[in-house]
Each structure stands twice: as structure tokens, then as C-alpha cells.
Amino acid sequence: MNDEKDARADGIVEEIPEESAEQAREQAGEQSPEAQAAAADAAEAGAEPEEETAAEAGQPAETAESKEEEELQMRYLRLAADFQNFRKRVEKEKQDVFQFANEKIMSDLLSVIDNFDRALETPENWQDQGMLEGMQLILKQLKEVVEKNGLEEIKALGEPFDPNFHHAVMMEQTDEYESGTVSAVLQKGYLLNTRVIRPAMVKVAE
């Protein structure tokens, strides 16, 4: 009987240290290897999805914001370009108004100049030299006035024919001028600030 009691006592003594050791480790803050492995797996499984979710949640917002900024920038550039074009167009129209506002009156004065030219083509027919000189002086003053306002006579006689400035009414055979050049001027042409308001009416050498 005493031997059995001793054996049981020994068994109890042997089991108690294992449980006490685990409780001692838990109280001391230590975990068993199985618990540490489970905690590591849980940390790996739980940390990564949170980071991916945050990244996925932030990426569409950044992309949408970048697209909106890009659209605003493009809209600003288009508006700036449209404004520049509008300003250039207004400046050109204003300049054209100043340069060609007197085009109508200049065109009307061409008939007066033509009549003076025709009257003075044959000065030998003028019996009164004083009258002739007075008419020549008036024509000179008139041309000076219109030239100050941008009127310019188109060069034609002896010049190569240019359809932009010359209006050919006939061809003629002549040895005086080369083929394709203006051999005679039937009516003078004029420019107003580099714009043709009346082409020269000419004959062209064949």
C-alpha cells in the first residue's frame, strides 16, 4: 500500500511540472511554438490585403484627379489659342480699315487722273503754254496727294506680263519688245497699299 501511494505521488509530481511550465510561460508573456506560428500566419494573411485595399482604393482617385487636371489644362490652352487668334484677326481688320478706308474715293479719283493724263499726252497741241504748265502742276499736286495716301502706279511698259497686275487685251508683233513683255499701256493700273485696285490694261508682245 505504501508503495502504491508512493508511485501515485511520483506520477503527480511528474505531471505537475509540465502544466506549471506552460502556465509560467503564458504568465511571463511567452507563447508556445504553435501559437507563434499561428500568429505569424495570421499577421501575413491579414497585413497584405489591408495594404492592397488601401492602394486599390487610392489609385482610381489619383487617376481621376490627373485626368481632370489634364482636361482643364487642355481647355485653358485652347481658350488661350482662340483668344490669340481672335486678337490677331481684330488687329488685322483694324489695320485693313485704316489702310483701305479710302479705297472708294481713290478709285473715283483714278478717272480724274486718267483725264489729266489724256489731256497732257500731246503737249504740242496746247497753244497756251501757261495753261499747259498750270494743268501739269495741278496733276503733279494731285498725284502727290494720292501717293501720300498709299496710291501707287503699276509698272507695266517693258515689264514681263504678270496676270496679277496686268490685264492683256491683245497681242501684237513687235521687234521693240521681247515676247511675253508689255509692249503698250492702254490704261494705267494702280495699287493701294500693295493691293491692286485696278490692273493695267496692256498689249503684250508675241
Tally of domains within the chain: 1
Question: Which CATH number goes with the domain that contains 150?
Answer: 2.30.22.10
Residue 72, domain member (yes or no): no
Residue 156, domain member (yes or no): yes
Residue 136, domain member (yes or no): yes
Count of residues making up the chain:
206
Query: What is this structure's pTM?
Result: 0.55
pLDDT at 82 over 70: yes
Sign of the C-alpha dihedral, residues 62, 63, 66, 68?
A: negative
Give per-residue pLDDT as tens, 5-14: 444 444 444 4
Q: How many helices (H) and strands (E) does the chain have?
A: 4, 6
Residue 168, domain member (yes or no): yes
- Per-residue pLDDT averaged across 34-39, rounded? 58
CB atoms inside a 10 Å sphere around CB 199: 20
pLDDT band for position 192 (cuts 50, 70, 90): very high
Residue 42, domain member (yes or no): no
Which range marks the domain in which residue 131 is found?
A: 102-205
